[in-house]
Structure formats: C-alpha cells, structure tokens
Chain A
Amino acid sequence: MTAPFPSFEAGPWAAAAMIAAVIVSSTAGEVLTAAAMKSIGDLDVIRARSGMKGAIRAVITCPLFFAGVSFLALAFFSLLFALNHLNLSLVAPAAASLTLVTNAIAAKLFLKENVDRRRWTAAVLVCVGVYFLAH
C-alpha cells in the first residue's frame, strides 16, 4: 500500500477480498470482545459490588478486551478502505449481513455457544433483513 492510493477499478476478486477482510476482522473483534466480557463476569454484579469505577477497571484491565477492540478498529478501517474502492450499496449490505452468519459460526466454534435451530433461524432472518434494509 502506497500513498496516495491508486484509484483502480476493483475486479470481482479484489472486491470479494476487501469485503472478506471486513468480515473476518469484525468477526474476530466481536468474538474476542464477547470472550473478554464472559471472562470478566456479569458487569451488573461487579458494579453492585465495587461501583462504576470498579466495573470500568475490570473491563480496561482485561487484555482480551483490547485485542477485541483492536480487531474492531481494524474492521472499521478495512471498511473505510473498501468504501474507498467499492460502492456503498455493495459493501454496506454485504458486510452488515454476512457478519451475522460468520459470527454465529465463530460463536459456536470458539465460544462453544449453544447455537440451536432457533438461533440459526434468527441469524439468517436478520441477515436477509439487514441486506434488504441496507441495499
């Protein structure tokens, strides 16, 4: 990557790669953040015990949380990069809806969440709905 970015006409493979980068980094960010919050424990309980400051300290002293936020930031910047080369009407629905499905897969694989038929149905319905809404 050299600055200033060459303005190229992105082919289908380049477009797919850019959208894939957004989806992969955002899924990694969501899963790491969720894992961090599970490792910290119920924030309402922590806040009841040691106050708002204690709850904030519990979050910002968790390394997993910063790993998650870094990936979310990476997802944001790769989204900006994709928007620089592709149309908003392609990137926004694709990125917003596909992350729901990849997150369900990643949550089942890495967080060992119980993704039953009800949750699969919800993920797919919301995915299609977001696609329609963002298109």
Chain B
Amino acid sequence: MTNLPGISLAHPGSLIAAVFTPWVAVGIALLIGFFASYLTALSWADLTFVLPATAFGNVIVALLARFWLHEPISIQRWAGIVLITVGVGFVANGPSLTERPATQVATAKQPSTAVEEEPVR
C-alpha cells in the first residue's frame, strides 16, 4: 500500500482500484484463506486452544522480518518470540476440545445429524 499514490476520502474510487493491485489482491486472497482455516479450526477445537495457537503467526512474521527483510530484532522481541513459542507448546500438549457429557453432545449435534446417519468419527 505504501507503494501506491496517496488515497484521500475525496476520491474513494482509488480505494476500490487499490483492491485490484496484484499485491493487495494476493493479500486479500490470503486473508480469506486465513479466515476459512480459522473457522474450520473453531468448528472442531476450543477458542482457548485456537487463539493462542494462531498467535504463533506473530513469531513467523518476526522471523520473516529478521531473515528475509533483514530487520533488526531487539532482545525484548526475542523474549516475546520465546514466550509465545512456550505458550503455544503448553496449549498444544493439552486436549483441543472440552469433553462434554454424552447427552449434551447428542443434543448439540442433533440439527446436523437429524437427516443423515451418524458420521463415523
């Protein structure tokens, strides 16, 4: 976006045009991919499992910035990377979904399985 000419509120059309710039379009496509994967993960795992796990993306961004863009990383940021990695390791070692009593699961699944046979899990 910083490579584009300045966008002002007086010309909102330029914002629409920016969507079709190759880099912005690729970014939007990747964001849609992220949201689809995020929703799929939420459909079978707890929010308190998915959210810390997706925070690992921050670590990947920092490492890409370090080794691809050659940006300097301070000690504080390295400490952040270590803390996130340890935190994700913690949560990933536990169960991904809260165990529910069988009756509760049955009622929760009723709308989707009422017509079809029980899916093999």
Contact = CB atoms under 8 A, between A and B. Distances in A.
Interface of A is mostly: helix
B3 interface: no
Contacts of A121: 87, 90
Contact of A41 (B43, B50, B82): B43
B80 A133 contact: yes
B79 interface: yes
B30 interface: no
B76 interface: yes
Contacts of A115: 48
Interface in B28-47: 39-40, 42-44, 46-47
Interface of B is mostly: helix
A123 interface: yes
Contacts of A42: 43-44, 119
A132 B77 contact: yes
B55 interface: yes
Interface string B74-110: 0011011111111110110111001100000000110
B112 interface: yes
Contact of B76 (A107, A108, A124, A132): A132
Interface of B: 39-40, 42-44, 46-52, 55, 58-59, 62, 76-77, 79-88, 90-91, 93-95, 98-99, 108-109, 111-112, 116, 119, 121
